[in-house]
Chain A
Amino acid sequence: MKRIALKGLLVLGGIVLLCVFFSGTLHTLSTAKVRTVSARTGRLETRVRLTGALHWPETEAVIPENMTGDDTLIVRRVNVSAGAWVLAGDCLAECEVADYDSRMAALKESFAGKEKEALELQWKNSGVRLTPQQEEWYAGYSRLRDAALAEQEALQTLRLRAWQAGVALEEDDSVPETLPDTEAAGLLVEARDVLEAARRETAEASRAFDSLSRYPIPEDVVNYLSKKSELEKELASLSARMADLQLLKERAAAVTAPHDGYVTAAETKAGDTVSRGGAVVWMTAEGAEPAVRLDASGARRTIPAGTAVTLSVGGKTADAAITGQGIAADGSLYADVRLRRGDIGLLGGAAAMTESGSVTAEIVLTAENATTLIPVSALRGAEGDYFIYVTRRENDSFRNEKITVVRKSVTVLGQSASAASLEESLRNEEIVYMEDRPLSEGCEVMPYSSGS
């Protein structure tokens, strides 16, 4: 029995000594390590990340002037790409007129035919001699005829403009006094003015012709003169068309920028055809500034104009500000950021932005009121049942500090990626925001050591 008792005492003593020796180490290993922070008062900043793309508010088609509906260009070379900055007069593309040779040949052939017809007519009526009065009568007759034709054309245009504006004309084709404030109504007013001018011209021509009616000329002479006038007009028209075609050819050979600006789209390539209504390239309207249009649907709150935003494209950043917000055709919310040339340069240029296709924007939204802020990692639980762990310090009889955690329910007012805004005031509380293992209420913890 003495041996058993002695062995028991020795074993107990050994266990106690080992525990005394290793308890500190084991206690450190088995105790959760935490980092704590004091709550601070401030305004919650929420960082919102949006994406968008370069947006050109006003663009215009670049195409040679004086193209008619029959003209078609064949693109030979495009010298710019989307996003390029061009100056007025820069050659944007090189084109040629489709079927230029055949069309010019046709026109020349028509011209030659009409010219020959005119010569024949003149030869047939070479004996016709007009007195000055008869020439004057014919001039009056031509003027009256042209004024009547112009009045008819103006009347047709007036009726067309009235229909486009949705306005009903009076019985005498007069325009009502009250008109809607639209662009079509403005065109209607212009057409009315043109008709009135044409009518005045007709009236004057008629009065002038009336005074010349005492100088009649034979009908065959009238026919000759009418035919001759008609041929002269056709020859003039053919000549003008040939000149226009020639001019179009020269202009199409080097399509230049009408003013300084950015090329917004250069989708045509060699071999493509462009007709009237299309565009060789698109560029910004004169004086227009590009913008970045951001998809603000994910922001879940309005972003007021003037809010600072940091744009980034491929690692390059630039600071700007929101200039406006709106709703797109599909109902999504967007926010626009007008860019200055310096901003575009910082972001690598419009070409790089267009090629990238995507612009990232980071916006810092600040709350209106100051509240208690804690790191978001300190917030635990789920919506409606959020809580945090705060520490409680106690000293035992040996003046050893023992730190335990206590659960404390909180009300969350808002949350960002890094901070949470709480309703409660947590002054003088040490809040646990990082731990190396799960915590439970009342468990002992110890602060992270600095390792030094």
Chain B
Amino acid sequence: MQASVRRLRGRHVPARLLLSLIAVLLLLPIAVTLLYAFFSPEEIRAYMGTRNRYTADSFMALRLIPETVSLMQFYRVLITDREILRYFINSVLYTAGILAGQLLALPALAYGLSCFRFRGRDALAFGIVLLMVLPFQVTMVPSVLTLRALNLLNTPWAIVLPMLSAPFFAFLLRQYMLGIPAEIIEAAQIDSAGPLKCFLRIVIPMSRPVLGTMAALSFAESWNLVEQPLTYLTSRSDLYPLSVAFGQLTRNMSGIEFAGAALFILPSLFVYLFFQEDIMEGIRVADLR
């Protein structure tokens, strides 16, 4: 493999250039966000004030070097303008709740649908696939009615509870667990291991790659919630996560948006780095199967 990699280094230059260009374009917004987080708030306000003055003949100038490197944006985000911090805490709480709930419920659901045979199993699995296909807008109204009946509208549970039923992750886990050899489970059962013991001692350890994948993807989805808070928290703007409140805060152009965006990006970045190997392992194992 190393030899093939060495051979690749000398070839496919155009392809590599094209891929590099695409990578730069994809990474440019993130890089600019992190870079502008070290501009002073006054400089950002002045610079962003010019964003509507460009024409079709001239582009808006892209500033890459600040006049003075300043941590004032971070200071205001973390200390003085505590609104962003409070919305950040909201996002953390929602994500943690959703992640914990999904990690408790979905592996067990997938285990039941994969390792047990009962009447209606396949129909249930098909129903999960069907739910996976439906967009949020279709299930929004029934969800609102249900939550209102349960008196959970405008509460944090309105965000967390509907997200616990993630059909895609359930499907993903089920498909992975279907690939676990039945002989391993039978061997455990011969050793007088019950279903729960098999689940905890065999299925969960063997499903670590896909569980890591699920956690990373679930984190990304929960961290970036927009529609659900706007739908279920209409009269409680103080319960919004940062993904929703950020749009409102940037309207005032207070000059601290980029530091807030950097703060928003960092948790996703760290989570991805943490689960990167599991994600790649999960994809690889799925490919081999």
Contact = CB atoms under 8 A, between A and B. Distances in A.
A304 to B, nearest CB: 55
Nearest to B272: A5
A30 B274 contact: no
A9 B79 CA distance: 20
A7 to B, nearest CB: 9
B267 interface: yes
Given A9-B271, A9-B274, A16-B89, A27 B266 contact: no
B266 A398 contact: no
Contacts of A19: 78-79, 85
B43 interface: no
Interface string A4-20: 11101100100110011
Interface stretch (B13-21, B115-123, B194-202, B237-245): B237-245
B82 A9 contact: no
B94 interface: no
A214 interface: no
Contact of B78 (A1, A15, A397): A15
Given A1-B277, A4-B273, A8-B273, A27 B82 contact: yes
Interface in B65-102: 78-80, 82-83, 85-86, 88-89, 92
Contacts of A6: 270, 274
A444 B277 CA distance: 47
Interface in A383-420: 396-400
Given A2-B274, A5-B274, A398 B267 contact: no
Range class of the A interface residue count: 20 to 34
A439 to B, nearest CB: 15
Nearest to A442: B254
B165 interface: no
Contact of A444 (B80, B83, B266): B80
A30 B238 contact: no
B266 A8 contact: yes
Contact of A30 (B80, B269, B271, B273): B80
Given A1-B277, A16-B89, A8 B238 contact: no
Nearest to A3: B274
Contact of B79 (A8, A27, A397): A27
A31 interface: yes
A164 interface: no
Contacts of B238: 397-399
A40 B257 CA distance: 41
Contacts of B155: none
B26 to A, nearest CB: 20
A328 interface: no
B207 interface: no
Given A15-B78, A30-B79, A397-B237, A20 B89 contact: yes
A319 to B, nearest CB: 54
A24 B80 CA distance: 8
A382 interface: no
B85 A12 contact: no
B80 A9 contact: no
Interface string B34-69: 000000000000000000000000000000000000
Contacts of A174: none
A31 to B, nearest CB: 7
A26 interface: yes
B34 to A, nearest CB: 14
Interface in A24-57: 24, 26-27, 30-31
B237 to A, nearest CB: 4
A27 B83 CA distance: 12
A203 to B, nearest CB: 113
B224 interface: no
Contacts of A15: 78
Given A15-B78, A20-B89, A23-B78, A398 B83 contact: yes
B274 A397 contact: no
A3 B126 CA distance: 39
Interface string B246-288: 0010000000000000000011011111101100000000000
B277 A398 contact: no
A399 B238 CA distance: 8
B83 A397 contact: yes
A376 to B, nearest CB: 31
B255 to A, nearest CB: 11
Nearest to A10: B270
Contacts of A1: 273-274, 276-277
Contacts of A24: 82
A12 B88 CA distance: 12
A398 B83 CA distance: 8
B226 to A, nearest CB: 16
Contacts of B82: 20, 23-24, 27
A6 B272 CA distance: 11
Contacts of B248: 397
Contacts of A8: 266, 269-270, 273
Given A5-B270, A399-B238, 14 more contacts: A1-B273, A1-B276, A2-B277, A5-B273, A6-B270, A8-B266, A9-B267, A9-B270, A9-B274, A16-B89, A16-B92, A19-B85, A398-B83, A400-B83
List the 8 closest A-B pairs by CB distance, nearest first.
Answer: A5-B273, A5-B274, A19-B78, A397-B237, A8-B270, A9-B270, A398-B238, A5-B270
7 contacts: A1-B276, A2-B277, A19-B78, A23-B79, A23-B85, A31-B80, A398-B238
Interface of B: 78-80, 82-83, 85-86, 88-89, 92, 237-238, 240, 245, 248, 266-267, 269-274, 276-277
